[in-house]
Amino acid sequence: MEELRILSPTAILGYGFPMKSFEEGMRRHPHVIAVDAGSTDPGPYYLGAGISFTDRTAVKRDLGIMISAALEEDIPVIIGSAGGSGGEPHLEWNVQIVMEIAREKGMQFKTAVIHAEIDKDYILKKMDEGKVYPLHPAPELSKEELERTDRIVGQMGIEPFIKALEQDVQVIIAGRAYDPVVFASLAVQKGYDRGLAIHLGKILECASIAATPGSGSDCMMGYLGEDYFNVEPLNPVRKCTTLSVAAHTLYEKTNPYILPGPGGVLDLTNTEFTQETDNMVKVSGSKFIQSEEYTIKLEGAKKIGYRTVSIAGTRDPIMIAQIDEVLQGVRERVEDNFSDSQMEYFLDFRVYGRNGVMGALEPQQEITSHELGIIIEVVAQDQATANTICSFTRSTMLHYGYQGRIATAGNLAFPYSPSDLKAGEVYTFNLYHVVEVDDPNELFPMEIMTMGGSV
């Protein structure tokens, strides 16, 4: 069985890559260039608001290079989770970029566009059939909560990509997708082992992050054989080691042996990692176990209000020593001042230098920093209320009279003017569920179009 070569240019479309690394990858004559374009890591705002978390100019730069090289080599380009979150506005955003590239470069190519946004009525029907289940720690989905959802996407599996490849397309632009499948789809279509293909996709999804030193902005090459795969970074400053590749296999997973995905699980019980060369690792033994019911993961977001923040710092050791008492005093002063206003709001303080990163999970309780960074955050049902509460909180803390205070000019230093930043709409994830489907393709309609050519 001929070794299948897969080029992963970057961890997320728009994160960029060195041209030397990409050119090194093209010298190996890959059979496909694949890239994951999205993630839930940046939070729910981008899904709910329909906005990409990657920059348009950066995405266009990456795609222009990838598509040009792929057409010259006569191989497909596969993009998953287009626009970051993979909803309808994200997909359209990415399609428009590809259209621009085709027009500006005078290229013409056949394209498959696979949609992933799901209508609420479909989910409601599946709920009535008892085929929607929560993933821990999400609660059961109620009809009321479903109605509050602004946007829902399904995380497609490998089947829609194979269906698109069967149409002999040169570019696939897909909505929300399970990260490894954009790399595994061509291999599975050609008869390679599904477990090894998906495991290879799991490594390639973040490009050279699986190398050491790792980077999400550098290229990685995957080589898939009949009973193994190899991974190799394309920059000489990086190496794949058994430790780096095995560690990345566990990335974002709670079980070291069983990795669930659409249609089944990846079983790593008998997986072996071998140092093939100084910078290349060989992996074998990974198996895909098909589930009895095919399920698709659902991601949904709803709007919960509007946010205003104020960023400040303090270097007063007297204030730092009693920061908890100061924050509590400020909170009580705010509550008292607006007790008759019927305003509803959420007020939070993030203190960097104490527990700003880990919050209540921070094991180091003693403050050892000589300065603290303080973020005042307010979320309310409208921007005006958020502005009011943040403004009052900020001014109260600025002049709060704590025990032993010496300074009279103010307790806080502000790096920006204006000191209060209106952040706008706030979303939260409210769907983290799976739905049983009869057909792996039923949620993901596909369009075939020709991009470029004469107008």
Q: Which of 28, 14, 3, 65 is nearest to 220 (CA)?
A: 28
Q: Average pLDDT of 96-125?
A: 97
Q: Note down the domain range covering 180.
A: 4-300+431-452
pLDDT of residue 407: 81
As a whole number of angstroms, the distance between CA 175 and CA 195 comes to 23
Does residue 424 fall inside a structural domain? no
Cβ(394)–Cβ(330) under 8 Å? no
* Whether residue 176 sits in one domain with residue 141: yes
Q: Average pLDDT of 385-389?
A: 98
DSSP state at residue 41: T
DSSP state at residue 215: -
Does residue 308 fall inside a structural domain? no
pLDDT of residue 455: 43
Cβ(376)–Cβ(313) under 8 Å? no
Average per-residue pLDDT in the chain?
96
pLDDT in tens, 321-331: 999 999 999 99
* Whether residue 283 sits in one domain with residue 406: no
The burial class, CB within 10 Å (0-12 / 13-18 / 19+), for 363 is: exposed
Q: Residue 352 forms beta bridges with which residues?
A: 373
* Whether residue 127 sits in one domain with residue 55: yes
**Chain centre distance of CA 183:** 17
Phi and psi torsions of 123, nearest 5°: -65, -40
As a whole number of angstroms, the distance between CA 171 and CA 164 comes to 9
Tokens of 155: 């995380």
Cβ(86)–Cβ(38) under 8 Å? yes
As a whole number of angstroms, the distance between CA 234 and CA 236 comes to 6
Longest dimension (CA), the chain: 78
Helix (H, G, I), strand (E, B) or coil at 199: helix
As a whole number of angstroms, the distance between CA 439 and CA 63 comes to 31
pLDDT of residue 454: 53
* Whether residue 21 sits in one domain with residue 48: yes
Other CB atoms within 10 Å distance of the CB of residue 100: 15
pLDDT in tens, 291-313: 999 999 999 999 999 999 999 99
Does residue 181 fall inside a structural domain? yes
Does residue 170 fall inside a structural domain? yes
pLDDT in tens, 230-286: 999 999 999 999 999 999 998 877 888 999 999 999 999 999 999 999 999 999 999
Does residue 420 fall inside a structural domain? no
pLDDT in tens, 207-240: 999 999 999 999 999 999 999 999 999 999 999 9
Look up the pTM and report it: 0.94
* Whether residue 383 sits in one domain with residue 248: no
Does residue 256 fall inside a structural domain? yes
Q: Average pLDDT of 148-155?
A: 98
Does residue 422 fall inside a structural domain? no
Range of lowest pLDDT (124-138, 148-162, 396-410, 441-455): 441-455
* Whether residue 361 sits in one domain with residue 437: no
Q: Average pLDDT of 127-145?
A: 96
Does position 33 have pLDDT exceeding 50, yes or no?
A: yes
Q: Average pLDDT of 54-73?
A: 98
Does residue 419 fall inside a structural domain? no
**Chain centre distance of CA 114:** 19
Number of domains composing the chain: 2
Q: Average pLDDT of 112-131?
A: 97
What separation, in Å, do the N-terminal and C-terminal C-alpha atoms of the chain show? 43
* Whether residue 435 sits in one domain with residue 357: no
Cα 345 to Cα 92, 302, 307, 378, 384: the distances in Å are 35, 17, 10, 7, 11
Does position 409 have pLDDT exceeding 90, yes or no?
A: no
